A = this chain, B = another copy of it.
Amino acid sequence: MAPVHERARRVGDLPTPALVVDRKALAHNLAVMAEALPGARLRPHVKAHKCTALAREQAALGHRAFTGATPRELLGLAVAGLGDDLLLANETVDAHRLRTLADCGARVTVAVDSVETVDAAADNGIEEVLVDVNVGMPRCGCRPDDAGRVADDARARGLAVRGVMGYEGHAVGIVERERRAAAVEQAMAELRRAHDLVGGDVVSAGGTGTYDLNTTATEIQAGSYPLMDGLYAELDLPFRRALSIVATVISVADAHAVADCGLKALAMDHGNPGIHGADVWFCSDEHVTFAPTTRPVVGDRVVVWPRHVDPTVALHEVIHVADGPGLDAAVVDTWAVDLRGW
């Protein structure tokens, strides 16, 4: 069967629910970021898009080093020829997956924050690590004052310690810019303290919300900026929302309508999605129920804007590429979401 983009000529003809990227908005986002953080100053995080076709666009603009959250993300990048410098910005003690990464032919660096993660890396052929530091968000990472010990453990096991990483995830979503900047500075003071103990050339940190505020990091791990989402759209960022889900109205009642885009097509951890000119009531497995301002007709298409892009993309097999915004835009390509799973 022909690819979907050869059967559906416009966004409004796609089978739904359909994940759609506006390639003009995407190109804008990629260009703005590449100008702000050229080349190796950005280490794009692929967890947000899970798509080697999109990673290729980032590489074409000069970002040849990538960040991933799962071994499979890194392996997919390596297979796609994007393995110049891959960082697993996450801890794992999975021997089989670490060994597969070590043998994949790419340059692979993994995050470590404990003797167990150091041992797992060393035991399975990994050669380079970053010491992951907790800079204020209660997730992975050692205490800043413990980073030197972790680095010593790693070097004692023969690992090259390239530097530190520390994600200020508690800061990236703060709407008010000054408060966000203050939270970044506080977090990065912790990371600098750890870096003093660890050494190395790399200080890896940051996200889309802090890409221009974090001046400590030698490289920013932004992931959401190409596609954007409802949460980040509330900030003062120069990136445009490029990813939406096109759905079909399948039922219309007096006060509400229903479209075929539910919990299995978009993530709900950051709350309900948005529909322009409508009040979204709730989502169920395969439905979004909303109160429209103008009563639609069954068969109409609606554009649904997800509040959190990362886990939304992970629910889809493909991203359709549109030549602009709206339902009349031409569908020009279909990209596999080929970095899903672990």
Contacts and interface: CB of A to CB of B under 8 A. Distances in A.
A317 B337 CA distance: 14
Contact of A251 (B15, B91, B310): B91
Interface string A284-299: 1111010000000111
Interface string A196-227: 00000000000000000000000000000000
Given A15-B96, A139-B251, A342-B17, A114 B286 contact: no
Interface stretch (A32-40, A232-240, A264-272): A264-272
Given A117-B298, A141-B251, A16 B310 contact: no
A61 interface: no
Given A93-B250, A93-B299, A269 B263 contact: yes
A250 B287 contact: no
A6 interface: no
A204 B323 CA distance: 44
Contacts of A260: 90, 92, 342
A264 B311 contact: yes
A341 interface: yes
A138 B47 CA distance: 35
Contacts of A256: 138
A138 B250 contact: no
A169 interface: yes
Interface string A306-342: 0010110011010000000000000000000000111
A298 B96 contact: no
> Which one of A70, A250, A283 has the greatest number of beta carbons of chain B within 10 Å?
A250
A267 B258 contact: no
Contact of A281 (B138, B141, B251): B138
A84 interface: no
Nearest to A255: B138
Q: Number of copies of this chain in the oligomer?
A: 2
How extensive is the interface on chain A, given as a class? 35 or more
B268 A285 contact: no
A155 B244 CA distance: 38
Interface string A11-22: 000011100000
Given A117-B298, A286-B69, A341-B317, A310 B264 contact: yes
Interface of A: 15-17, 47, 69-70, 90-94, 96-97, 113-114, 116-117, 120, 134, 138-141, 143, 169, 248, 250-253, 255-256, 258, 260, 263-264, 267-269, 281, 283-287, 289, 297-299, 308, 310-311, 314-315, 317, 340-342
28 contacts: A15-B96, A15-B342, A16-B94, A16-B342, A69-B285, A70-B286, A90-B250, A91-B298, A92-B248, A92-B260, A120-B299, A138-B256, A138-B289, A139-B284, A139-B287, A140-B250, A140-B251, A140-B287, A141-B251, A143-B253, A169-B284, A263-B267, A263-B269, A263-B308, A263-B311, A264-B314, A268-B268, A268-B269
The 4 closest A-B pairs by CB, nearest first: A116-B298, A140-B251, A91-B250, A268-B269
